[in-house]
Structures are given as C-alpha cells and as structure tokens.
Amino acid sequence: MLFRFKKKSDIPSSEITPYRVYQQRREFLKTAAFAGAIAATAPSLLLPRSAQASAFGPNLTRGKFATDEEPTPYDAVTSYNNFYELGTGKDDPAENADKLITRPWTVTVDGEVHNPKQYDINDILKRFPMEERIYRLRCVEAWSMVVPWIGFELGALLKEVEPTGKAKYVAFETLFDPERMPGQTRNVLQWPYREGLRLDEAMHPLTILSVGLYDKMLPGQNGAPIRLVAPWKYGFKSIKSIVRITLTETMPQTSWNMANAGEYGFYSNVNPTVDHPRWSQSKERRIGDFLKRETLMFNGYDDEVSQLYAGMDLKKNY
C-alpha cells in the first residue's frame, strides 16, 4: 500500500503548515470539549475565526485511504476553483458563491431502484456517518491539490435505495437555476451539468459524497451543499451541487463528453500514458509548488481501483 499516516515524530518542526496548525487546533477543541460547559461557548472567543469548531462534531472518523502528502491550504482550495455555473474564471466561483443559496435543498435518487427517495440535505447530514478523507484531486488541466474532504461513501446511500438488477450506471445532475447559478445564463456547457459513473465505480469505497472540507461545511465554490469526489478520475467527474442521482441501464450522457467527445471520455481515469489531444497528461503542478511532478496512474489509487478496469483498453476507454 502506498498510503500511511505520518507519525507525529516524523514531522520536523520546520514543516509546520496550515494543515498542521488546523489539526492542532482540532486537538485543542477536542480537549476543550471535555472541559464541559465552557467549551460550548469558549472556542469562538479563544480562537481566530479560521479555527472555529468542526461543524461535524467530535466523532468524525479519519484516515481511511489518507495520503501522507501535505494538504493544500484552505485558502487555495477555496479560491482557485472550476465551477462554470459560478463563472469560468478560476476566481469567479469564490466571488459568486454568495448567490448559491443551499437551503432548502433536496437530492432526488431515482431510476433503476426499488426504493426511490428524496433526501433533504439536513437529513443526509444527520443520517450518514461522516469521515475525513484526505484525497489528491487531479484536474484534467494538469494541476492538482490535496484536500481533507468530509463526507461519506456514496455506496451507503445507493444501498438504501436498492438498485434493481438492471442498474449498470449512476447519473448525476447539478442544480439548474440561473438565479442561484448565474453562469447558467451563458451556454458554455449544456445545463444542468451532468456526470456519470459505472455502478461498480460508484459503489467503490473510495467514492464519496462530500459535504465539507477542513472541518467546515462545503463552501459554495467547492460545490455546496453536496458534491461527488472520485479521486482516481480527472476533477471534472467530481460533480458539484448535486440535486439528482439516477440509476440507469445505459451509459448516461456527461456534460464534457457532450461538449467535446474527442477530448473527454466517459471514464476519464487519471492516466499519464494517454495524452489529452491538446496537452500531455504525464505531469501535473501541485497548487503552491514551483516544479511539476509525475502524474501517477489512477492518480496514485491504482492498488484500489485497477481491478475495476481489468481487461479494458484504457486508450479506447479514455
């Protein structure tokens, strides 16, 4: 396995970073919680805004599939975004995020299921056990970041709706509402944004629905209130602000494939050996780094996912 947690003793003091600072503050908050009544109100007085308590309670589990790489600072993760519904520039989503009102919010799960459901987002937050997953995310445009997502396995939700024997794929749709998503007044893509996974990819334990990052509720620019994260695929597969999940018998249409099928396939697994028609995929720039690094097969998650594609020609199924 490639993944392990650094032991505390492995970390030189020179390596103090925003993420470590955040972890230390979390430890402080957990300790403070034992102090009882004071803790209920005191953290906001004692700590700067950026360190205020986790929205997900003290019981958050951590560590599954965690990379030991340094997470990208919160400010970078929330200010350099791709979210065309909130504008096509990298800083547009953060600027326009206040338009994206996320309450009330319903996620409809339908199609080839025995038990179709409409989930209110507040019920999702209460019902599914939340975990921190520190994942690499590799954008198709050859930059990458490491994000401490908060979320739960998509498989847990899919089990509740009981896929029928015909279900082979899972289709996802983002909200369509040009008032809350001003970018939808321009036809840069066909709205709503659509994505899809094969059912076995969707059921894979790496695949999560995320509702937060760095212990905070997901900011609008990162796909509030709920978005997909499939870390072995190019970033555009990780669809934001989901309102519908539909199980289907046939391969669903996806926005980027509809826009340019020659450049964006259905699978879009991170693959350094298959170039994008307009640029190489062999290297990537980690946000904040100066030098590029090698891109890893399946974004480094090959131990976990390569068996999903056994016998497939990944040049054809790009």
Here's the x/- map for ligand MTE, 130-169, by CB under 6 A: it reads as: -------x-x------------------------------
Q: Looking at 22, 56, 74, 83, which residue binds ligand MTE (CB under 6 A)? A: 83
Nearer to ligand MTE, 83 or 232 (CB): 83
Query: 3-state DSSP call for residue 16?
Result: coil
* Residue 85 makes contact with ligand MTE by CB under 6 A: yes
Instruction: Give least dist CB 262 to ligand MTE, A.
Output: 17
H-helix or E-strand containing 134? strand 131-138
Helix, strand, coil proportions of the chain in percent (round to 5)?
30, 25, 45
CB atoms within 10 A of CB 37: 7
Q: State the distance between the two ends of the chain, measured CA to CA, in whole angstroms.
A: 25
Buried/exposed 221-259: b ≥16 CB within 10 Å, e otherwise: bbbbbbbbbbbbbbbbbbbbbbbbbbbbeeebebbbbee
Instruction: Give least dist CB 32 to ligand MTE, A.
Output: 30
Q: Looking at 239, 245, 270, 305, which residue binds ligand MTE (CB under 6 A)? A: 239
Instruction: Give least dist CB 82 to ligand MTE, A.
Output: 4
Nearer to ligand MTE, 29 or 146 (CB): 146
| 212 binds, options Mo ion, ligand MTE, none, Cβ within 5 to 8 A by partner type | none
Q: Looking at 74, 135, 169, 236, which residue binds Mo ion (CB under 5 A)? A: 236
Q: Looking at 54, 184, 207, 238, which residue binds ligand MTE (CB under 6 A)? A: 238
Total interface residues for ligand MTE by CB under 6 A: 17
Closest residue to bound ligand MTE by CB: 235
* Residue 298 makes contact with ligand MTE by CB under 6 A: no
Nearer to ligand MTE, 88 or 306 (CB): 88
Q: Looking at 82, 184, 210, 238, which residue binds Mo ion (CB under 5 A)? A: 82
Query: 3-state DSSP call for residue 306?
Result: helix
Q: Which of residues 62-81 bind ligand MTE (CB under 6 A)?
A: 81
Distance in angstroms (rounded) separating the CA atoms of residues 138 and 146? 9
Q: Which of residues 135-174 bind Mo ion (CB under 5 A)?
A: 139-140
CB atoms within 10 A of CB 77: 22
What are the residues whose beta carbons fall under 8 Å from the beta carbon of 157, sequence distance 6 or more? Answer: 109, 119, 124, 128, 209, 245
Contact assessment for residue 112 and residue 44, using Cβ atoms and an 8 Å cutoff: no
**Which of 72, 237, 94 lies closest to 154, judged by CA?**
237
Instruction: Give least dist CB 37 to ligand MTE, A.
Output: 37
CB atoms within 10 A of CB 103: 9
Distance in angstroms (rounded) separating the CA atoms of residues 197 and 242? 14
Binding residues (CB under 6 A) for ligand MTE: these are 81-85, 137, 139, 174, 193, 222-223, 235-236, 238-241
Binding residues (CB under 5 A) for Mo ion: these are 82, 139-140, 235-236
